[in-house]
Amino acid sequence: MMNILKEPLLHFLLAGLALFILFEIAGSDEATYDDKVIIVDRDALLTFAQFRARAFESSGAAAFFDSLSPEELQQLIDEYAREEALYREALALGVDQNDYVIKRRMIQSIQFITNGFVTASVDPTDADIEAYFEANHDDYYISPFVTFTHVYFAKGARSAEQAAALAQAKLAELNRAQVPFAEAPAHGDRFPYFLNYVEREPEIVAAHFGEAMAAQLFELEPDAHQWHGPFESPYGYHLVLLTKKVEGRHADLAEVYASVRSDAEQVAIDTMQEEAIRAIVDTYEVRRAF
């Protein structure tokens, strides 16, 4: 997909993972020498810090470690010792045997490791980002929206014909008096949802007023002095003062560059991590026993 997915980098990832696992095995062997002695060294704390941060990037972890104050370092040591002690007690009790939750946690740990190596390696170029944008252009469509207020006349307490007649009479009054946006609450009935809708997309308008009325509203032209209607919704009849409308359009890359870069990076990370995990799985032979 991108140049970051080239094979040498995948080899580097697998080599790093192997070294990391080897370090963990060596650490485990040392722990069994005396299970009541917890040896804390720089490598152990660096590994612990990376697991806690779920970010496996050695240079960043080393920089973090070196920046710790004596108090912060002691806190890190205490946290490491606490977890190590509880881990050893769990092993002594055999809670790691046939426990699916623990198995899933161990799998997640490997996934965190591979994700950390991959994330540190992903740096898409401008060409990569532009290619991703072109391939996913519709994902960055900017929806249309409208700003309006309305005066509402409910059906139910009165007949639909009565509600429509009241709305029609009120329309003439509102336009004759040039009633502004802010004075809409002084007229009509209380609507179950909102009175004012500011920069609302079609989905919200349709959810509150129905598809038919929403389509009619998005066909209006903004005019801060012209009330329109009556429009029928499932609830009754509405008079609308629409003051702003922005048409939907496809965004330019420059407008959404940060989002596109983030999305492209995530796709690359997911793809590369899956390749790394597949490479690990492929080192095993799978035999069916049924």
Higher-pLDDT residue of 7, 56? 56
CATH number for position 176? 3.10.50.40
> 179 and 92 in one domain?
no
Q: Once rounded to an integer, what is the mean pLDDT over residues 198-225?
A: 97
Residue 224 sits in the same domain as residue 178: yes
Query: Which helix or strand (DSSP H or E) is residue 7 part of?
Result: helix 7-33
User: Could you give the CA distance from residue 107 to residue 114 in angstroms, rounded to a whole number?
Assistant: 11
What's the predicted TM-score (pTM) here? 0.61
pLDDT score at 5: 43
Alpha carbon separation from 152 to 106, 114, 159, 160, 192 (Å, rounded): 59, 58, 14, 13, 10
> What gap in Å lies between CA 256 and CA 138, rounded to an integer?
12
The C-alpha atoms of residue 164 and residue 149 are separated, in whole angstroms, by 18
Highest mean pLDDT among 12-16, 50-54, 255-259, 272-276: 255-259
Q: Do 125 and 65 belong to one domain?
A: yes
Closest CA to 200 of 240, 255, 236, 229: 240
More confident residue, 37 or 232: 232
Does residue 124 lie in a domain region? Answer: yes
Same domain as 107, residue 18? yes
Q: Is there a domain that residue 290 lies in?
A: no
Q: Are residues 104 and 76 in the same domain?
A: yes
Same structural domain, 193 and 93: no
Both tokens of 29, joined, read 């062997």
Q: Which residues contact 215 (CB under 8 A, 6 or more apart)?
A: none
229 three-class SS: strand
Q: List, for residues 93-114, the tens digit of each pLDDT value.
A: 787 777 888 888 878 878 877 8
Q: How far apart are CA 172 and CA 152, in angstroms?
A: 14
Q: Does residue 276 lie in a domain region?
A: yes
The span from the CA of 173 to the CA of 244, in Å, is 22
- Quote the mean pLDDT of the chain: 86
Residue 97's domain comprises: 3-133+257-281
287 domain-assigned: no
Any domain includes 252: no
* 79 has pLDDT over 60: yes
- What total number of domains does the chain contain? 2
pLDDT of residue 60: 74
For residues 116 and 205, membership in a common domain is answered with: no
Task: Tell me the C-alpha to C-alpha distance, in Å, between residue 121 and each of 8, 56, 57, 259.
Answer: 12, 11, 9, 19
Q: Give the range among 4-8, 183-187, 192-196 with minimum mean pLDDT.
A: 4-8
Q: Are residues 122 and 266 in the same domain?
A: yes
Regarding predicted confidence, which is higher, 83 or 148? 148
Q: What is the DSSP secondary structure assignment for residue 284, as one 8-state letter?
A: S
pLDDT in tens, 119-136: 878 899 999 999 999 999
CA dihedral 58, 62, 64, 66 (to 10 degrees): 180
- Domain assignment present for 286: no
Does 261 share its domain with 235?
A: no
- Say yes or no: 69 and 117 in one domain: yes
Examine residue 169 and state whether it is found in any structural domain, yes or no.
Answer: yes
Supply the pLDDT for residue 171. 98
Run of H or E residues at 154? strand 145-154
Q: What is the helix (H) or strand (E) element at residue 13, kind and residue range? A: helix 7-33
Per-residue confidence band for 57, with pLDDT thresholds at 50, 70 and 90: low
pLDDT of 6-25, one tens digit each? 455 555 555 555 555 544 54
Q: Do 119 and 154 have their domain in common?
A: no
Q: Are residues 26 and 84 in the same domain?
A: yes
Q: Is 138 part of a structural domain of the chain?
A: no
